[in-house]
Amino acid sequence: MSISRGLSLQEIVPLIALGIFIWTLIEYTLHRFLFHIKTKSYWGNTAHYLLHGCHHKHPMDHLRLVFPPAATAVLCFPFWNLVKLFTTPSVTPALFGGGMLGYVMYDITHYYLHHAHPTRAVTKNLKKYHLSHHFRIQDKGFGITSSLWDTSNHKSSQNRAIEGILAIQLNLKLFIILQEFCDFI
């Protein structure tokens, strides 16, 4: 759609990369501030358990690792409208598409980290990092596809810029995970 609305491929590719990058922030924010919210009421505890607590109680259950596709489809509408609100009609499809690609890479990565046996350093480190969140320190390590946002508050601005570049490279390396995942299944 972005091409039919006048953008070139050279303009679309950075928008897709930006969408993936923005997804890493959304992933971190949801995981840290919504999925690990402190609840006190019965209904709050129940909602938290259904949303994310069951995953921490049964982290190796392959049926509790990805967000249900029907719920994802429903949530696409408000996210599409949010992107549309802040961007032009030609930018919206590319940026939203990048965010969706980031989401799909996140879901595949999360499943892979729980059930596969990584063979490459990048994926071994991601698995170690994520399983540490499950089994050692549950109030740290909220990033699944990247540790960028977990560490950005503790770094200088120069180190944050380097981390940002590394996060983009890491997200590109998620395609390696996809390849390993396809070999796994």
Q: Model-level pTM?
A: 0.75
The larger pLDDT score, comparing residue 7 to residue 98, is at 98
Q: Is residue 4 in some structural domain? A: no
Structure tokens at 2: 């972005």
Closest residue by Cα to residue 102 from 40, 172, 36: 172
**pLDDT at position 100:** 94
Q: Judge contact between 49 and 37, C-beta under 8 A.
A: no
Q: Which domain holds residue 141?
A: 9-184
Measured CA to CA, the distance from residue 15 to residue 23 in angstroms comes to 12
- Residues 15-60 have pLDDT tens digits of 999 999 999 888 888 888 887 778 889 998 888 777 777 776 777 7
Q: Is residue 20 in some structural domain? A: yes
DSSP readout, 126-176? HHHHHHHHHHT-TTS---SS-SHHHHGGGS-HHHHHHHHHHHHHHHHHHHH
Q: How many structural domains does the chain have?
A: 1
- Residues 119-143 have pLDDT tens digits of 888 888 888 878 777 777 666 777 7
What residues have CB less than 8 Å from 121, skipping those under 6 apart? none
Q: Is residue 1 in some structural domain? A: no
Measured CA to CA, the distance from residue 133 to residue 57 in angstroms comes to 13
Q: Judge contact between 38 and 25, C-beta under 8 A.
A: no
